[in-house]
Amino acid sequence: MAADSSLEFLKSVKGVILDMCGVLYDSGEGGGRAIHGSVEAVKRLMDSGLMLRFCTNETQNTRERFVQKLRVMGFDISVSHVFSPAPAVVQILQKRHLRPHLLVHDDLIPEFDGVDTSSPNCVVIGDAAEKFSYQNLNEAFRVLIGLEKPVLFSLGRGRYYKETDGLKLDVGVYMKALEYACDVQAEVVGKPSSEFFKTVLNDMNLQPHEVVMVGDDLVNDVGGAQSCGMKGLQVRTGKYRPSDECDPSVRADAYVDDLSAAVDAILTNR
């Protein structure tokens, strides 16, 4: 690919952050499958000398299990390079001496090992899927409404996602439900929160303008990164829709067909 003047902003890039689901792989039965060209594209980035980190709102697995799942698809990624909401909220809980009531997926529970969950004084919700029962939601609600000042953390704020058996409601929907029930505003941990992206930037030891985020989600990936001062590329895979390219509120710095094309653009224009 020849250098493209509209991609001149890539000249100063020293680091890349990749969203995972919809960029590296499509989720589905048996854990999903790699998107064509992505395994090789990640390898090229790793060999390029650019800093590389991964940033996901995945909360149905611990990072260890998640990375293992990606390994099976052919991605060789270090757990320490993956940033997800659960470890981030654990840091916040410890810093603020909060004891959570957890409404999260069973497979995420090990991320909270060592966290005191007795006499909860806040609620943490993740993508709990089937665990979002009427009873479990009532329980989380009762904890919140019983607090003098309810504190609710939401691991991401997604509306819905696609699985092989159809669209599924995501954590943001249940966040809105509890917000209304308790007249409270949730603290979102994960994309598109700036705090979350800054943790990744700190780990890379880079300035925002030196980093480009590649994602399939216009609001959470591209918009979130841009709010931090980073550049945002949107790939036309995963949850991308053609209407994203004329969205009135968020405009990606560039649109590319897939991760392979994104890596071409980055390596050619840096």
Q: Enumerate the known binding-site residues for substrate.
A: 19-21, 56-57, 191
Contact 192, 219 (CB under 8 A): yes
Contact 222, 233 (CB under 8 A): yes
Residue 241 CB, nearest approach to its own copies (Å): 13
Q: Which of 242, 192, 248 lies closest to 222 in space, CA to CA?
A: 192
Q: Which amino acid is at 200?
A: V
Residue 264 CB, nearest approach to its own copies (Å): 34
Contact 125, 152 (CB under 8 A): yes
Residue 166: other Cβ atoms inside 10 A: 7
Comparing CB distances to its own copies, the nearer of 113 and 165 is: 165
Q: Which of 128, 266, 148, 256 lies closest to 210 in space, CA to CA?
A: 266
Tell me the two tokens of residue 71: 């390994």
Q: Counting contacts by CB under 8 A, is residue 132 touching its own copies?
A: yes
Q: Counting contacts by CB under 8 A, is residue 242 touching its own copies?
A: no
Residue 159 CB, nearest approach to its own copies (Å): 5
Contact 20, 215 (CB under 8 A): no
x/- letters, 141..180, toward its own copies (CB under 8 A): xx--x-------------xx-----xxxx--xxx-xxxxx
Residue 132 CB, nearest approach to its own copies (Å): 4
Q: Counting contacts by CB under 8 A, is residue 219 touching its own copies?
A: no
Residue 160 CB, nearest approach to its own copies (Å): 6
Comparing CB distances to its own copies, the nearer of 1 and 145 is: 145
Q: Which amino acid is at 173?
A: V
Q: Counting contacts by CB under 8 A, is residue 196 touching its own copies?
A: no
Question: Which residue of 35, 41, 103, 137 would you call a contact of its own copies, by CB under 8 A?
Answer: 137
Q: Which of 67, 80, 88 lies closest to 20 in space, CA to CA?
A: 67
Q: Counting contacts by CB under 8 A, is residue 248 touching its own copies?
A: no
Instruction: Enumerate the known binding-site residues.
Output: 19-21, 56-57, 191, 216
Helical ranges in the chain per DSSP H: 38-47, 63-73, 85-95, 134-145, 171-182, 194-204, 224-227, 259-269
Stretch 25-44 residues interacting with its own copies (CB under 8 A): none
Site for its own copies, rule CB under 8 A: 129-135, 137-138, 141-142, 145, 159-160, 166-169, 172-174, 176-181, 183
